[in-house]
Amino acid sequence: MPLGVVPAGTGNGMAKSLLDAVGLPCTASNATLAIIRGHKQALDVATITQGQNRFFSVLMLAWGLIADIDIESEKYRWMGSARIDYYAIQRIFRLRRYNGCIKFVAAPGYETFGEPADPEGETISEVKSSFVQHEGYCGPALQKKDFNRKIEGPFVSVWLHNVPWGGEDTLAAPDAKFSDGYLDLVVIKDCPKLTLLSLMTELSKGDHVKSPHVLYFKVKAFVLEPGTQLDDGSKEGIIDVDGEVLARGKGTYKSNYKTLMTYDKLYIKVDQGLATVFSPSTIS
């Protein structure tokens, strides 16, 4: 069943990606016309797995700086979309770095990123998910032994993207495609604060990925092993999926709130073209 996307939020990354692909402004009227015309577009879907729980994502996963800005800026929601820029400046000048590790299966042509990882040698397949009806689709099987590359922290930001735009003015992953079967990974391990501030101003054009402080490549599957803050081992971080909190660690903003998953290892794998959305025209 095709899904229609109308921009009515703060970011509107999916609507922006669909409309910008054919040169149209991101407006509710353009999105509504696209739905009425009925053109359909295949869309990759990422399945996030942790134990018996699975969660489906179509936009992005963030951990570190981007997640902190997105979620913690909620306290300034009365500012509208300006809250993102306002809080980004605060967060950059009081920069956090996080211990942790990421492992991945690189897309063809990106196998040199990271360093070799020891295989885990286990399979994740059938689960009894509390978030998916048992008779419904529970996501793809994962071969843990396939995760043969890794990058060790500490990290400033880890950002996994399914489509080009993360928001109406944030071209997070300029090379992302709607149904190529890959996720675009944007990693910042270390970066001077003033340089990082400059990178944030380049997000609207996608030029941040050209920086020597940024690793940008495509993956078929991904493992996030989040850790504590580098400067304060008593505090952890936030994992943000499609603009919502998937997991909060100890000492974070609203850490007493219940989340769908715990702040621990997550496995992510892509199903190519699993979903269908209405779009202005068929896009690659």
Over the stretch 91-129, which tens digit does the pLDDT of each residue have?
A: 999 999 999 999 999 999 999 999 998 877 666 654 444
Mean pLDDT of 142-169: 92
Q: Please report the pLDDT score of residue 131 as a whole number.
A: 47
**What are the chain's domains?**
44-119+138-273 (2.60.200.40)
pLDDT band at 204 (very low <50, low <70, confident <90, very high): very high
Q: What percent of the chain has pLDDT over 90?
A: 77
pTM for this predicted structure:
0.91
Cα 144 to chain centroid, rounded: 21
Q: Which helix (H) or strand (E) holds 32?
A: helix 28-37
Using CA of residue 95, residue 265, residue 105, residue 160, what is the dihedral sign? negative
Question: Helices 193-201 and 82-93: crossing angle, nearest 10°?
Answer: 160
CA distances from 164 to 30, 179, 205 (A): 18, 12, 11
Q: What is the distance between the alpha carbons of residues 129 and 136, in angstroms, rounded to a whole number?
A: 10
The two structure tokens encoding residue 108: 């063809």
pLDDT band at 27 (very low <50, low <70, confident <90, very high): very high
Residues 6 or more apart from 90 whose CB is under 8 A from it? none
Cα 197 to chain centroid, rounded: 20
pLDDT: which is higher, 141 or 188: 188
Residues 6 or more apart from 105 whose CB is under 8 A from it? 146, 147, 148, 149, 219, 220, 221, 222
Please give the mean pLDDT across all residues of the chain. 91
Instruction: Please state whether beta strands 60-64 and 157-161 pair in parallel, antiparallel, or not at all (unpaired).
Output: antiparallel
Q: What is the distance between the alpha carbons of residues 255 and 247, in angstroms, rounded to a whole number?
A: 9
Q: For residues 221 and 123, is the Cβ–Cβ distance under 8 A?
A: no
Q: Please report the pLDDT score of residue 152 as a whole number.
A: 96
Mean pLDDT of 197-201: 92
